[in-house]
Amino acid sequence: MHIIIPDDYQNVVPTLACFSKLSGHTVTVFNDTVKELDALVERLYPADALVLIRERTRITAPLLERLPNLKLISQTGKGIAHIDAAACTRHGVLICTGGGDPVAPAELTWALILAAMRHLPQEVAHLRARGWQHTVGRVLRGRTLGIFGYGKIGALVAGYGQAFGMNVIVWGREGTLARGRAAGYAAAPDRQTFFAQADVLSLHLQLNSETRGHVTATDLALMKPDALLVNTSRAELIAPGALAAALQAGRPGFAAVDVYEEEPILAANHPLLVLDNAICTPHLGYVELDTYERYFSSAFDQLLAFAHGHPINVVNPQ
């Protein structure tokens, strides 16, 4: 098979131990992202199979119509919101997905919380500019951590908060509230109280038609002027433009984000990047060596199973 792997920004995939599984196949790796349809067609046309790195490239119906050789999409991770699954089925393209891994994104979430609460990026920059002790940070112990969406990642972050002596409250659908209560955490009495009480509020929702734009300007305006909002899930969970406007208005006072509506961001072209009260990282949540080995090993196993006529982890068996 001719296998194409787009969007390997760090040129790391060929260095992974699991890459040897593709021995005997033709593999092309691209280290940048293209979004224009004609450019994507030119790049992906030879592919019998694609290995997609999370949601970095969208697979649309117009694109699939112009990729007659494509038979398989092997997805790293389990999310397929960026893939038109119905169009894949119509064109006879099988989609196979691996599992998720909550540890790396949960740890990055906590790193962002610590960095924001103690103003670490600002202090590092000030020290390099020959200054000293520029800001006054805050501890986490005794403060309230709000977990919006108590799934695998949210549960880990809640546990970190408890270990740091925080009061953890949860909010979300009934399943979130039930799981949070079962783990011994308090459920907020209502959505307004949840946003108003949290000193640190971390989003851990899956993006779908119901959750797109789920966090509104009205929600953000309820937050404390010294509260921190953290988003390592998906940018589209927040209404367009609402977070930048809220930070400029002072509620919440701070944000730490790892995700953006359009990625990658190049030339610092995003409104959050010009705000002093926002810490921004380039979608690093799952970008970690052990996680990459697990994700790509699973994706390559899916390729090999398909090549041997016994596909696994199939999303669209019809």
Name the residue among 137, 129, 52 with its Cα closest to residue 88: 52
CA distance 228 to 251: 9
Q: What is the pLDDT of residue 290?
A: 96
| CATH class of the 2-101+289-307 domain in this structure | alpha beta
Q: Judge whether 280 and 270 are in contact, CB under 8 Å.
A: yes
pLDDT in tens, 235-268: 999 999 999 999 999 999 999 999 999 999 998 8
User: Of the listed 234, 251, 270, 294, which one is catalytic?
Assistant: 234
Beta bridge partners of 314: 96
- State the average pLDDT for the chain: 97
Q: How much of the chain, in percent, has pLDDT values that exceed 70?
A: 100
Whether residue 263 lies in the annotated active site: yes
Looking at the predicted structure, is the pLDDT value of residue 121 above 90? yes
pLDDT grade for 99, boundaries at 50, 70 and 90: confident
pLDDT grade for 100, boundaries at 50, 70 and 90: confident
Q: What is the pLDDT of residue 30?
A: 98
CA distance 65 to 54: 22
Q: What is the pLDDT of residue 40?
A: 98
User: Strand 2-5 to strand 228-231: parallel, antiparallel, or no bridges (unpaired)?
Assistant: unpaired
Mean pLDDT of all residues in 144-150: 98
CA distance 162 to 170: 13
Sequence ranges of the domains in the chain:
2-101+289-307, 103-280
pLDDT in tens, 44-72: 999 999 999 999 999 999 999 999 999 99
The residues, any chain, with a CB within 8 Å of residue 52's CB and separated by 6 or more, are 6, 7, 59, 73, 74, 75, 76, 82, 83
- In 153-274, at which residue ranges do the beta strands (DSSP E only) sit? 167-171, 186-187, 200-203, 228-231, 254-257
Phi, psi of 250, rounded to the nearest 5 degrees: 95, 5
Q: Judge whether 264 and 280 are in contact, CB under 8 Å.
A: no
Name the residue among 69, 212, 75 with its Cα closest to residue 59: 75
CA triple 136-197-251, angle to 5 deg: 60
pLDDT in tens, 285-308: 999 999 999 999 999 999 999 999
Q: What is the pLDDT of residue 124?
A: 97
Q: What is the pLDDT of residue 87?
A: 98
pTM equals: 0.93
Q: Judge whether 31 and 9 are in contact, CB under 8 Å.
A: yes
Structural fold of domain 103-280: Rossmann fold (3.40.50)
Query: What are the structure tokens assigned to 218, written together?
Result: 């009205």
248: left (phi over 0), alpha (psi -120 to 50) or beta: alpha
Dihedral (CA of 248, 249, 254, 257) sign: negative
pLDDT in tens, 185-234: 999 999 999 999 999 999 999 998 899 999 999 999 999 999 999 999 99
pLDDT grade for 78, boundaries at 50, 70 and 90: confident
Same topology for domains 2-101+289-307 and 103-280, yes or no?
Answer: yes
pLDDT in tens, 149-178: 999 999 999 999 999 999 999 999 999 999
CA distance 214 to 203: 11
User: Of the listed 123, 263, 288, 293, which one is catalytic?
Assistant: 263
